[in-house]
Structure 1
């Protein structure tokens, strides 16, 4: 059954009524899953120690957590007033202007797709390596990736609470294994349990910019709570509570675990050990001190951690496609949902198609690469995820200004801290992080100096944003009825029910 795209949303049976299935725990699990705790510790933290040589990594997580908590004050306040699957898009459209909102939506689409597809590179490498190690079968990295894309696609077009339940189990197991690692590290610390990695003197040294640039990527996904507002049981409270809960858990958990890694290896040796062993620094430690079973479980959960992040970022990208299609900014077919599940199936399929095409492109380009087995990690994963993180930091910086603009026009019941001071401070802090990412982008890519890629990848974030602004002005001139409803979600044209007959 189809609905005319031009009908105004109302109470008719054809209007999309989202299935509100998500509570605070479910949304929190979605957020933490995107952060991928085990992946951050085994992959991200070891990389940061190795590349920067800075031992103050644990403190960086606390500082970044505080920065994002300040940002979340205004962000959470807006979530109580604006409930829209295209969260950043609607916030910027209503807080700054419609053209800037459309520009932000294009940056968001790029960023979430880059994060999601980039993670497939590490997933393929990890699974093919695990299969080769256990069964002696040399499997090309892209075969596990294409298989995983199919599984994620199935979850993406079904009930969102199914994804939340799967992610909840996986995230719980990740926390359990990392907790075992933390306890063992503190108990066996070869140089004693030192508080040095938490001291400012260990962080504020040359290389601190790169540390913060690496660290902010570990939090990416925390901002996705508002995307699920339309599917939450109590959207005016769920988003804020889930966001604060996730930031607190992520910041403390990563800080303690990075500290455990430093003392478990020895603060004086952790940088060199990380450079030589990478993720095996954690897995080898577990194998040596807690038994092979725990180490093997950790390796398996490293893969499921990546899978959980893939599902979470897939859902985020799909909902941006849905939001833009529903309002007619992009083709309206992207606003299609499945009636029985409420899932934005067209947006989900669009994200799946992008993942297949990009994976195929990297697989073809990597044929015979001198990088060997590390090719998908050093290219697809490193390039795309760092670029995506840069885009999300840019978005959050702009959203901070949007919060100020929104509450300046509509005071509501907010005080000056929520409507001005916190978002203003958040803007300054996030802008500083963004500048550090830009200045250290070659370091994030593993390059000794700048080359064309150092500028091409950031352009892949900025140019779509500028194109989105230009597209909004064209809509204003040629399709004013669409332009008027930009960023207003279900206040705008009804979403279409294309594909219901397939259910």
Structure 2
């Protein structure tokens, strides 16, 4: 067993009765919402994911597709939050899945989730490095993408080493700045009654929702919501978690969803329906900055270029924090070496886990440099594609777990919750997520850059990670999902 001894460098102050260590923090609802929203990277999504979704998906129907994805995630959140009182630990999706489907399935999901978030971390380093290179080029300075990536790696590691409250404040400032500039664009577009064609017909023309490739559009929408399970990952570092987590989950999904719906509608309207589709295909990276320049002036356009980079850094910092807590929590349960479950004496942070996560990311970035991968179209596309698949599988597994758990309680006469909340809503969410899962598999090749080999590699890697966690828990029956 990995975790036979208490982690070194801990004291009775650090430990609970079973010898496991808690992280320290004092986050409330809004602190967690900031981290979740920063993980989603709203400005990065509006500047990158949304134009690509318009081009590859269903064109002007993308704004309405965000409504569909938000509703599905809210239905999922009903099952997620209903299970929260029965999952008294910071294990997030994998602990929720283990509650209904057993600890071996839970540990399999834990390793799958860890791989998915590590992949996203590496991918975002590529996208961020590319963004920094483009920003420096606009100032007449040339630098390879990996220079910016490694500089940001040092900054993210430094913040991840410290208490989560510091990261929370940094993320809050960056998030308010990036959301503020997009909302300023939204307001300007609405005040001017849209662009040359008025407001987009994306909502008033039902055929727009089903045009083009609506399945691929839905996948890009889900990609824009990645990370909202962080509401449960930070359980030990928030006040009154049984109240905070459900409120933060509903708030995060609703606010992020409304932001994407309104801002996508405004962005398309700023160009006009036909022109929006054209520019999304011709130069997707220019779609948001160009709209800001047209409506808010050239200075604001340059500000957006800077905020695009800070948005990706905020996203990166959130992923670093979530991933390091995955490593910490899995180690605390005995499925990874005990040293990864140690807590910094002064900062109360998972400093060792955070440093290990950084080393893994640094190695993969180095490999990308050596084999000359394009940081955006290959490194980010491939690795973010893997994360999207893992994310959908975790949503599906959590929903099934909720139905199984509450179904057992209903059958045994111990169900005290509303049937509509714990049976009907999760069942509807399950049907929706099953359909999304089919779309993921059908469109996976396009999601990872058009390579069938990479698509198979993604599925194989995720299957291997799940099997690894399942096997570890089978060989070590003494390890538990419970804190």
1:415-434 correspondence runs (5 A): 415-434=418-437
Aligned partner of 1:443 in structure 2 is 446
Q: Larger deviation: 30-39 or 462-471?
A: 462-471
1:29-428 correspondence runs (5 A): 29-52=34-57, 54-134=59-139, 136-186=140-190, 187=192, 188-197=194-203, 199-366=205-372, 375-410=374-409, 411=414, 413-428=416-431
> 1:468 offset after TM fit, Å?
1.7
Determine the C-alpha separation between the residues in 2 that align with 1:306 and 1:419.
Answer: 36
Answer whether contact 2:21 2:332 (CA < 8 A) is retained: no
- 1:488 equivalent in alignment to 2:475: no
Answer whether contact 2:382 2:449 (CA < 8 A) is retained: no
Superposed structure 1 runs of 4+ greater than 4 Å apart: 6-15, 409-412
Aligned partner of 1:26 in structure 2 is 31
Answer whether contact 1:114 1:385 (CA < 8 A) is retained: yes
SS, match of residue 222 in structure 1: coil
Which string of whole-angstrom CA distances, capped at 9 and with x for unpartnered residues, describes residues 410-455 of structure 1?
54632212322222222221121121011011222332xx531121
Determine the C-alpha separation between the residues in 1 that align with 2:146 and 2:395.
Answer: 33
Answer whether contact 1:59 1:198 (CA < 8 A) is retained: no
Which string of whole-angstrom CA distances, capped at 9 and with x for unpartnered residues, describes residues 129-155 of structure 1?
211220x22211111111111111111
Determine the C-alpha separation between the residues in 2 that align with 1:40 and 1:247.
Answer: 15
Q: Could you say if the C-alpha distance between residues 342 and 81 of structure 1 is closer, same or farther in structure 2, counting changes exceeding 3 Å?
A: farther
- 1:458 equivalent in alignment to 2:459: yes
Determine the C-alpha separation between the residues in 2 that align with 1:129 and 1:11.
Answer: 49
Determine the C-alpha separation between the residues in 2 that align with 1:161 and 1:431.
Answer: 37
Aligned partner of 1:493 in structure 2 is none
Determine the C-alpha separation between the residues in 2 that align with 1:298 and 1:171.
Answer: 13
Determine the C-alpha separation between the residues in 2 that align with 1:300 and 1:413.
Answer: 51
Structure 2, gaps ≥5 residues long: none
> 1:323 offset after TM fit, Å?
0.8
Q: Could you say if the C-alpha distance between residues 197 and 11 of structure 1 is closer, same or farther in structure 2, counting changes exceeding 3 Å?
A: closer
Q: Larger deviation: 379-388 or 280-289?
A: 280-289
Answer whether contact 2:28 2:238 (CA < 8 A) is retained: yes
SS, match of residue 233 in structure 1: coil
Determine the C-alpha separation between the residues in 2 that align with 1:404 and 1:133.
Answer: 53
Q: Could you say if the C-alpha distance between residues 17 and 442 of structure 1 is closer, same or farther in structure 2, counting changes exceeding 3 Å?
A: closer
Which string of whole-angstrom CA distances, capped at 9 and with x for unpartnered residues, describes residues 5-37 of structure 1?
399997569753442410000000000000011
Answer whether contact 1:28 1:245 (CA < 8 A) is retained: yes
Determine the C-alpha separation between the residues in 1 that align with 2:307 and 2:249.
Answer: 24
Q: Larger deviation: 421-430 or 353-362?
A: 421-430
Determine the C-alpha separation between the residues in 2 that align with 1:445 and 1:127.
Answer: 23
Q: Larger deviation: 465-474 or 211-220?
A: 465-474
Determine the C-alpha separation between the residues in 2 that align with 1:243 and 1:200.
Answer: 30
Answer whether contact 1:58 1:198 (CA < 8 A) is retained: no
Answer whether contact 2:57 2:215 (CA < 8 A) is retained: no
Q: Larger deviation: 383-392 or 80-89?
A: 80-89
Which string of whole-angstrom CA distances, capped at 9 and with x for unpartnered residues, describes residues 159-191 of structure 1?
101111111111111111001111233325101
Determine the C-alpha separation between the residues in 2 that align with 1:260 and 1:382.
Answer: 26
Answer whether contact 1:398 1:427 (CA < 8 A) is retained: no
Determine the C-alpha separation between the residues in 1 that align with 2:18 and 2:425.
Answer: 42
Determine the C-alpha separation between the residues in 2 that align with 1:474 and 1:194.
Answer: 57
SS, match of residue 138 in structure 1: coil
What TM-score do you get using the length of structure 2 for normalisation? 0.93
Number of residue pairs aligned between Structure 1 and Structure 2: 471
Determine the C-alpha separation between the residues in 2 that align with 1:273 and 1:197.
Answer: 20
Determine the C-alpha separation between the residues in 2 that align with 1:92 and 1:11.
Answer: 24
Answer whether contact 2:90 2:329 (CA < 8 A) is retained: yes
Determine the C-alpha separation between the residues in 1 that align with 2:16 and 2:321.
Answer: 27
Q: Could you say if the C-alpha distance between residues 198 and 360 of structure 1 is closer, same or farther in structure 2, counting changes exceeding 3 Å?
A: farther
> 1:330 offset after TM fit, Å?
1.1
> 1:350 offset after TM fit, Å?
1.6
Determine the C-alpha separation between the residues in 2 that align with 1:466 and 1:365.
Answer: 29
Aligned partner of 1:497 in structure 2 is none
Structure 1, gaps ≥5 residues long: 370-374, 490-503
SS, match of residue 295 in structure 1: helix
